[in-house]
Copies of this chain bind each other. A is one copy, B any other.
Amino acid sequence: MIKIEDVARLAEVSPSTVSRALTRPEMVAPTTRERVVHAAHQLGYQPNKLARGLRKRQSHLLGLMVTDILAPFHATLAKGVQDAAEKHGYVVFLFNTDEQPEKERRYLKELQGHLPEGLLIVPTSQTRQNLGIVPGLTVIELDRTSGTPGVHSVLVDNVAGARRAVEHLIQLGHRRIGMVAGPPTVTTAVERLEGYKQALKAAGIPFQRRWVATGDHKEEGGYRAARQMLELPLEQRPTALFAGNSEMAAGAVLAIRDLGLRIPEELSLVSFDDTRWARLMQPPLTVVAQPAYDLGYLACETLISILGRQEPVQATSLRLATELIVRSSAAPPPQR
- Which residues of A pack against B, CB within 8 Å? 1, 44, 46-51, 53-54, 59, 69-70, 72, 75-76, 78-79, 82, 91-96, 109-110, 112-115, 133, 250, 253-254, 275-277, 280-282
User: Of all chain B residues, which has the CB nearest A107?
Assistant: B86
Whether A250 pairs with B69 at a CB distance below 8 angstroms is no
In the complex, chain B residues whose CB is within 8 Å of the CB of A72: 70, 72
Task: Give Cα A69–Cα B281 distance, bound, in whole angstroms.
Answer: 22
7 pairs of residues in contact across A and B, judged by CB atoms under 8 Å? A1-B115, A46-B113, A70-B79, A75-B75, A82-B94, A91-B110, A92-B94
Select one of B50, B91, B94, B250 contacting A280, CB under 8 A: B250
Q: Are A70 and B75 in contact (CB under 8 A)?
A: yes
- Closest approach, in angstroms, between the C-beta of A37 and any C-beta of chain B? 16
**Interchain CB contact (< 8 A) of A277 among B47, B48, B96, B280:** B280
Q: Which residues of B contact A94 (CB under 8 A)?
A: 82, 92, 94
Q: Which residue of B lies closest to A114 (CB)?
A: B49
Whether B48 lies near A54 (C-beta < 8 A) is yes
A54 CA to B115 CA, complexed, in Å: 14
Contact residues in B for A277 (Cβ distance below 8 Å) = 275-277, 280-281
Once A79-B69, A96-B79, A110-B91 are accepted as A-B contacts, the answer to whether A50 and B53 lie under 8 Å apart by CB is yes
A121 CB → nearest B CB, Å: 16
What residues on B are CB-neighbors of A281 within 8 Å? 277, 280-282
A114 to B79, CA, bound (A): 21
* Residues of B with C-beta under 8 A to A280: 250, 253-254, 277, 280-281
A190 to B277, CA, bound (A): 27
Cβ-defined contact, B115 with A48, below 8 A: yes
Closest chain B residue, CB of each to CB of A249: B280
| Nearest 4 Cβ contacts at the A-B interface | A277-B277, A49-B113, A282-B282, A50-B54
Alpha-carbon distance A325/B275, docked complex (angstroms): 23
**Closest CB-CB distance, A283 to chain B, in whole Å?**
9
- Contact A69–B59 (Cβ < 8 Å): no
Q: A59 is contacted by which of B44, B50, B282 (Cβ under 8 Å)?
A: B50
A250 to B59, CA, bound (A): 42
> Across the two chains, which residue of chain B brings its CB closest to A285?
B280
Query: Closest approach, in angstroms, between the C-beta of A277 and any C-beta of chain B?
Result: 3
Q: Which residues of B contact A48 (CB under 8 A)?
A: 54, 113, 115
Distance between Cα atoms of A128 and B176 in the complex (Å): 61
Chain B residues near A82 (CB-CB < 8 A): 94-96
User: Which residue of the partner chain, among B51, B93, B96, B109, contacts A46 with CB atoms under 8 Å?
Assistant: B109
Report the bound CA distance from A79 to B48 in whole Å.
Answer: 28
**Besides A79-B96, A82-B95, 14 new A-B residue pairs in contact (Cβ under 8 A), listed by A number:** A1-B115, A46-B109, A46-B113, A47-B113, A48-B54, A48-B115, A50-B54, A69-B78, A70-B72, A70-B76, A82-B94, A82-B96, A91-B110, A275-B276
Smallest beta-carbon distance A22→chain B, Å: 13
Q: For A94, A95, A275, which residue has the most chain B Cβ atoms within 10 angstroms?
A: A94
A114 to nearest B CB, angstroms? 5
